Amino acid sequence: MRSLIIAAAIAMTLTACATESTPPVAAPAPVAAAPAPVQTAPECYNGDSGKFETLGTVASISGIKVVCEKTSDGKNASWVGVKK
Q: How far apart are CA 39 and CA 77, in angstroms?
A: 14
Structural domain contains residue 61: yes
Structural domain contains residue 13: no
Going by their DSSP bridges, the two strands 64-70 and 77-81 should be labelled as antiparallel
Structural domain contains residue 63: yes
Structural domain contains residue 36: no
**HEC profile for 23-73?**
CCCCCCCCCCCCCCCCCCCCCEEECCCCEEECCCCEEEECCEEEEEEECCC
- Give the domain extent around 57: 41-84
Structural domain contains residue 9: no
Q: How far apart are CA 67 and CA 43, in angstroms?
A: 11
pLDDT higher for 8 or 19? Answer: 8
Structural domain contains residue 31: no
Structural domain contains residue 68: yes
Structural domain contains residue 17: no
pLDDT in tens, 18-77: 555 666 777 777 777 777 677 678 899 988 888 999 999 999 878 889 999 999 988 899
With 0-12 / 13-18 / 19 or more C-beta atoms within 10 angstroms meaning exposed / middle / buried, residue 44 is buried
Domain count, the chain: 1
